[in-house]
Amino acid sequence: MSKIIYLTTNPFKFREAEIVLKGKYGLDIEIIDPDFEIYEIQAKTCAEVAAFSAKYAADKLGKPCLKSDTGLYIEALGGLPGPYNAYFHKQIGVEKFLNMLKNETDRKAKIEHCFAFCEPGKEPIVFTGECHGTISKVARGKDGLWHDFFFIPDGETRTFAEIGDENPKEKASNYGDAMDKFAKWAKENLQ
């Protein structure tokens, strides 16, 4: 199997790829913090964002690339922030975001996790997964992205951040099965 280039600037995504793609599936992954900006389009879904970014990177590097995107969809906010997750984090942060929801009783949410793989000159293949849960009233934990501090997966009492504080492998397995779907596909198709 040829080496797969996974482009990310996010240390938590880097760790997750190390745990799942390398550790669990034994894929030959080179995780790179790219030395060029990978454009992220504004789109309705994380799948569209990841697909565009993977194609852009593969064509620019001339090598097969893997790119991911994660979105947070909150029912009470009509699905926002969705694929604008990072923008919400930069603009208002955790505390202001939770303050916006302080009187909201419907705290249902889902995390969408997408991986897009693309070879140069070809169309990307997208793998999606999701995790349903709720939004906590206060931020808890130390490990993770901004939504990890307040997203509680169904069947849990801990936030993603608290899960990561205790066991990063357990946290990686809670994000949905997009990475697993990609890894299984890669083992069968990238020889």
Q: What is the pLDDT of residues 101-126, one digit of tens each?
A: 999 999 999 999 999 999 999 999 99
Contact present, 7 and 65 (Cβ < 8 Å): yes
What is the rounded CA–CA span in Å between residue 85 and residue 54? 19
- Identify the residue with better confidence: 11 or 111: 111
Tell me whether residue 69 is one of the annotated catalytic residues.
Answer: yes
Active-site hit among 28, 35, 59, 69:
69
Question: Count of H helices and E strands in the chain?
Answer: 7, 7
Q: What band does 34 get if pLDDT is binned at 50, 70 and 90?
A: confident
Residue 26: other Cβ atoms inside 10 A: 11
Please report the pLDDT score of residue 164 as a whole number.
87
Task: Give yes or no for residue 74 having a pLDDT over 90.
Answer: yes
What is the rounded CA–CA span in Å between residue 70 and residue 84? 9
The reply to whether omega before 81 is within 30° of 0 (cis) is yes
Write out the residue range of the structural domain in which residue 104 sits.
Answer: 4-189
**How many domains does the chain divide into?**
1
Average pLDDT over the chain, rounded to an integer:
89
Domain CATH code at residue 104: 3.90.950.10
26-to-64, 125, 188 alpha-carbon distances in Å: 18, 20, 13
What is the rounded CA–CA span in Å between residue 111 and residue 46? 10
